[in-house]
Amino acid sequence: MGIKSTSKAIMSEAGVPIIKGYHGSDQSLAKLKHEAEQIGFPVMIKAVRGGGGKGMRIAFSASEFESQLESAKREALKSFGDEAMLLEKFVQEPRHVEVQIFGDHHGNYVHLFERDCSVQRRHQKVIEEAPAPGISESLRNELGQAAVRAAHAVGYVGAGTVEFILDRHTHAFHFMEMNTRLQVEHPITEMVTNTDLVEWQLKVAGGEKLPLTQDEINLRGHAFEARIYAESPNDGFLPGAGPLDYLVAPNPGPDVRVETGVRQGDEVSVHYDPMIAKLVVWGEDRKDALMKMRTNLADYNIVGLNTNVDFLLELCNHGEFVAGNVHTNFIEQHKTELGYVDGDHKRIYKAALAVILNEQLQAEEVAISAKESYNPFVLESGFRVNHLLVRDFNFACGGQNMTAQITYRRPNNFSMKVNNGQQVYKVAGSLNKTETGLELTCRVDNVVVKSRVVITPTDVHVFTKHESYELLIPHFHLPMKFKKMKLGGSGIIGDSALSPLPGIVEKVCVKIGDSVKAGDPLVIVIAMKMEHTIRAPKDGIVEKINYNAGENVTKNAVLVKFAD
C-alpha cells in the first residue's frame, strides 16, 4: 500500500473507486508523455513511493510536462530513493478527505471517521479538521466503508489512513493513496472519538483485539489541528531556518494539545522539515473549536525566524473558511485576502511606546543598582524636561517605512502623530516584566490593549490577541539586499541573482555566456528536502556562476552574476 501504483490496482479490484490515470511500470519519457496526453491536461505527476507533498508536480500543458516530470523525479529520488512516477487526472478544486482505519491480527477492521485536510500549500497540509464540514451521514458511512474495504483487501494490521479526492460539488470520491502509519494529524481523530491511537497500536502489535467495535466508536464534537511552520507566507511560503530566540506556546489542557520537539533557544535546521509544532484544539461544535483555535494561535509567540502563525490566524478568520467552504486550491484562490494586511497606526504607537518605556525600565534598574536616585524625566536616550520633549521614530513594518513623532505630556503619557499627519492621538501605558517577558498595556484614545512585547537590538515584536508583527527599531536599517523574494524566483542586487533561502545546489541550469530571459531557470536549490527553482529576475547574459552542484549556499548568497 506504500507504493501508489500497486495500491491503486488493488483498490480497483476491491471495488474502491479510483481516479483516472497511469500506474504502469513503463517509465520511459515517450510512454509517460503519451499517457499524459491520453489522460488530458492538467495532469498530476506523483512519485509512486511519495508522501508529504514531495515528488509531486502539476503539468498544466504538454509544453511543461517534461520539465515538471524531471523536477518530480529529482525530488523523489532524494526523498525516497525511487524516481518511478504515476500520472493522474488533476482535479482543479477537490477536497482532500481521509479516513482513519485500524485492523488487528484477528481480522477485525474499523474506521474512526474522516478528517478534512483540504487547506494546503505546496501539496502539504496546513490545517486539518475532524469531522469534515458539510459531509452528510450517508456520505460519511460510504467513505468509512470504502476505507475499511481498502484495509480488508490487503489484510492490513495496525493504524492506517485511506485518502480520498472528493469533488466539492458532487461529493463523488476516488481513492488517492493509503498511508500505512499513524499520521501527523491523528490527534484530531483522537479528540473527536475519545481514543488513544498510540495505545491501540501497542495493543494490536501485542496480539490483542481492537479495543472497540465499529458500533462503539462515536463522534464527539469537533477538532482542528494547525501546523506551526518556520516559513514566510508572504514570500510564497519559503521554508526558513534559524534560532528560536523567544518562544511562548499556549497552555495545554483537556481541549488543547501542543505537540512539539523544540523549545526556546533551539534552532530550526535547514536539514529537516520546518514544522515547529502542532496545535490541536477541541470544541463542542465547529464554531466553538474554531474560536479556541484563534485564541490559542494568538498565544503562540515566536521571535527569531518567520512563522506562519499570523497567516493561520488570517485563515481562521476568513469568511469562506469559517463557512467550511474548503478545497485544495483554497489558499491560492484567496491569497490576496490571506496576505499581509497593513494594520492601523496603533501598530507603530505600541512599538514606539514599548521602546520608550523599556528605556525607562532599563534606566531605573541602572539607577537602583548604583544606589542613585532615579529621575524618569532625564534619560540620556529619551526626553528631557528643559527641551522640546519631542522625539521621532523611524520604523519599517511589512515592507513599509513609517515615522512617528512623539511628544511628552506627563509620565507615561504622550501625544503621537504618524507619517507627518495632522491627527494627534493620545497614547499612554505601562510596561511590566512577567515570566514570559515584557507585557505592554497601551491606551490609545481611551481604548486599552494588552500585548506581549519582545525588544531586541534591531527590532521590536508586538503580540496581540489578533496578530503579531515586527518593526525595525529607530536608527536600524536593513541592507537593500534583504528585500522580500518570491517562491520560485530570486532576489536581485544590481546585476546579481540571489538564493532566497539556505540549502544545497542540486543543479546549475545555465553556463557562462548564456543569454537568459526573465523567468528562465538558473539554479535548483534543495532546502528542507524540497526543491526550489531560482529563476532569472531579468533578461541578461550570464557572466559568472559562483556555485556548483553539491555546494552549500546561504540565504542571499549570490548565485549568478549578469554582465552589465
Per residue in 192-231, pLDDT tens? Answer: 999 999 999 999 999 999 999 999 999 999 999 999 999 9
CATH class of 94-338: alpha beta
Distance of CA 155 to the CA centre of its chain: 36
Separation CA 337–CA 296 (nearest Å): 22
DSSP class of 69? H
pTM: 0.74
Identify the helix (H) or strand (E) that includes residue 496. strand 496-498
* Residue pair 379/360 in contact by the 8 Å Cβ criterion: yes
Separation CA 261–CA 277 (nearest Å): 7
434: number of Cβ within 10 Å: 8
95 noted as active-site residue: no
DSSP class of 201? H
Per residue in 72-116, pLDDT tens? Answer: 999 898 888 899 999 988 877 899 999 999 999 999 999 999 999
Separation CA 3–CA 48 (nearest Å): 5
Catalytic residue among 74, 122, 181, 286: 181
The confidence score (pLDDT) of residue 50 equals: 78
Pairing of strands 491-493, 468-472: unpaired
Show the cell assigned to 420: 507627518
* Segment among 246-250, 294-298, 306-310, 493-497 with least mean pLDDT: 493-497
* Segment among 29-38, 323-332, 365-374 with least mean pLDDT: 365-374
Separation CA 18–CA 562 (nearest Å): 49
Q: Does domain 346-472 have CATH number 3.30.700?
A: yes
Which residue, among 170, 180, 185, 202, has the nearest Cα to 118 in the 3D structure? 185
Mean pLDDT, to the nearest integer, of 249-264?
95
Per residue in 148-168, pLDDT tens? Answer: 999 999 999 999 999 999 988
Distance of CA 267 to the CA centre of its chain: 17
* Residue pair 520/541 in contact by the 8 Å Cβ criterion: no
Mean pLDDT, to the nearest integer, of 58-84?
91
Per residue in 126-151, pLDDT tens? Answer: 999 999 999 999 999 999 999 999 99
Cis amide bond preceding 42, omega within 30:
yes
Which residue, among 153, 145, 151, has the nearest Cα to 173 in the 3D structure? 145
Please list, in sequence order, all residues whose beta carbon lies within 8 angstroms of the beta carbon of residue 335, skipping any fewer than 6 positions away. none
Query: E strands, 266-399, where?
Result: 267-268, 275-283, 301-303, 390-397
Q: Quick one: pLDDT band at residue 485, thresholds 50, 70, 90? A: very low
Q: Quick one: pLDDT band at residue 510, thresholds 50, 70, 90? A: very high
DSSP calls for 153-178: HTT--EEEEEEEEEETTT--EEEEEE
The confidence score (pLDDT) of residue 480 equals: 30
Query: DSSP 3-state assignment of 185?
Result: coil
Show the cell assigned to 218: 462515536
Separation CA 249–CA 541 (nearest Å): 49
Separation CA 6–CA 25 (nearest Å): 10
The confidence score (pLDDT) of residue 473 equals: 64
Separation CA 360–CA 373 (nearest Å): 13
Scored b (16 or more CB within 10 A) or e, 471-486 reads: bbbbeeeeeeeeeebe
Give me the residue spans of the domains in the chain.
Answer: 20-89, 94-338, 346-472, 485-562
Superfamily of domain 20-89: ATP-grasp fold, A domain (3.30.1490.20)
Show the cell assigned to 111: 474506521
The confidence score (pLDDT) of residue 391 equals: 79
Assigned architecture for domain 485-562: Beta Barrel (2.40)
The confidence score (pLDDT) of residue 292 equals: 97
C-alpha pair distances (Å), 169 with each of 135, 158, 324, 496: 12, 33, 13, 47
DSSP class of 378? B
* Residue pair 208/284 in contact by the 8 Å Cβ criterion: no
Which residue, among 154, 118, 149, has the nearest Cα to 133 in the 3D structure? 118
**Helices 4-13 and 137-153, axial angle in degrees (round to 10):** 110
* Segment among 271-285, 389-403, 443-457, 533-547 with least mean pLDDT: 389-403
* Residue pair 397/408 in contact by the 8 Å Cβ criterion: no
The sign of the CA dihedral 330, 336, 340, 344 is: negative
Query: DSSP 3-state assignment of 536?
Result: coil
* Residue pair 404/391 in contact by the 8 Å Cβ criterion: no
The confidence score (pLDDT) of residue 407 equals: 86
211 sits in the region (left: phi over 0; alpha: psi -120 to 50; else beta) called alpha
Separation CA 87–CA 110 (nearest Å): 30
* Residue pair 150/162 in contact by the 8 Å Cβ criterion: yes
In a 10 Å sphere around its CB, with 0-12 CB exposed, 13-18 middle and 19+ buried, how is residue 80 labelled?
A: middle
Per residue in 365-388, pLDDT tens? Answer: 776 776 665 554 454 444 444 344
Mean pLDDT, to the nearest integer, of 353-359?
87
* 158 vs 493 pLDDT, higher one: 158
Is 90 exceeded by the pLDDT of residue 36?
Answer: yes
